Structures are given as structure tokens and as C-alpha cells.
Amino acid sequence: MKTKKLVTAALFAAIVCVATLAIRIPSGLSGGYVNMGDAGVLLSAYLLGPLHGGLAGGLGSCLADIAAGYASFAIPTLVIKFWVAFVGGLLFAKGIKAKSWIAIAIYGIIAECIMIGGYFLVEIWLSGSVFAAAAGIVGNITQAVFGVVVSTAIYKFLCGKKAVMNFFK
């Protein structure tokens, strides 16, 4: 079982990386972009749990930053996305048994606040300016909303697929 979980986490890291790189929509003044990566980060948290989901989300996002030419963000991204997935997975694991779409969306919103705040702090550190860092907030909120909506929809779809859900037990 440990090997299966590790391999599945590695596959999710690859999925997160590809999802981050596949669709990139520029998001304002910060030079960042909106992508499908956060949906993969949250989905990995819900399906793999806090630790393995965190590792998959953090590593996959970190690799995407390196591949996309944002190496200065790679380590902060590793840490931020790990914590997004860890908190999202923890809330999900400790949450209500019914796993309603509203509850899942709330877990994602709470977790994505880490991403918004984390990148704000990183932007302050890299640019030396609160005002420059503030330019990325709207793009990060857009990224968070997109990630929460898509991950919630995909998770609820997968709930109807018994074989898929049994795989992740």
C-alpha cells in the first residue's frame, strides 16, 4: 500500500505540473498566470490525503515553475502549494462525512487563502514593495476560485465512479 500511495502521489505531481503548464492565461500586472494547477493541487489533497497530496501538489507546482521559467518562485511555490494541499486535505479528512460540494468548496477556499497570502509575502520579498505585491492579488484570487470550482466539480464527478473511489481508499 505504501508503494501504491507513493506512485500515485508521483503521478499526481506530474498531473499538477502538466495542468499548470497546459493552459496559462496571463493574470494582470504581476506577470503570473491562471492555470489548472490549483485544481490538481486540491484534488490531490482530497484523494491522497494531507501528506501525500501536499507532496504531490508542492512538487508538481514547483516543477512547473522551473519548466515555465519562474525558477525564482520554485522553492516558495513548493512550500506554498504543499501547505495549500496539506490544509485542504486535512480539512477534507476531518470534515463532514457526506462531503457535500459546498463543504468541499469551503475546504478549498480556506486552503487557497494560504496561496493568496503566501504569494503576497513572496512578492513583497522578491520585489521589496507591498504595492508591487498587491498587483498579484487579483490574479491569485482568480486562480484560487478557478482551482476550487474545478477541483470540486471533478471530485464530485469522481464520487460517482465507484472503481475510482475504491482505488484511493
Which residue is associated with the grid cell 468548496? 105
Is residue 106 pLDDT above 70, yes or no?
yes
How confident is the model at residue 166, as a pLDDT? Answer: 78
Pull the grid cell for residue 133. 505585491
In which band, very low, low, confident or very high, does the pLDDT at 155 lie, cut at 50, 70 and 90?
very high
Contact residues for 160 (Cβ-Cβ < 8 A; gap 6+): none
Spell out the long-range contacts of 160-165 with Cβ–Cβ below 8 A and sequence spacing 24 or more.
Answer: none
Q: Mean pLDDT over all residues of the chain?
A: 90
Q: How far apart are CA 37 and CA 40, in angstroms?
A: 5
Provide the 3-class DSSP secondary structure of residue 26: strand
Q: What share of the chain is helix, strand, coil (3-state, %, to 5)?
A: 85, 0, 15
CATH code linked to domain 2-167: 1.10.1760.20
Per-domain residue ranges for the chain? 2-167
Residue with cell string 466539480? 153
Residue with cell 469551503: 106
Q: What is the pLDDT of residues 29-77, one digit of tens each?
A: 556 678 899 999 999 999 999 999 999 999 999 999 999 998 999 999 9
- DSSP count for the chain of H helices, then E strands: 8, 2
For residue 26, what pLDDT is reported?
Answer: 76
Instruction: Identify the pLDDT of residue 98.
Output: 58
Residue 61 backbone class (left: φ over 0; alpha: ψ -120 to 50; beta: rest): alpha
Q: How far apart are CA 43 and CA 148, in angstroms?
A: 9
Q: What percent of the chain has pLDDT over 90?
A: 67
Q: What is the pTM of this model?
A: 0.91
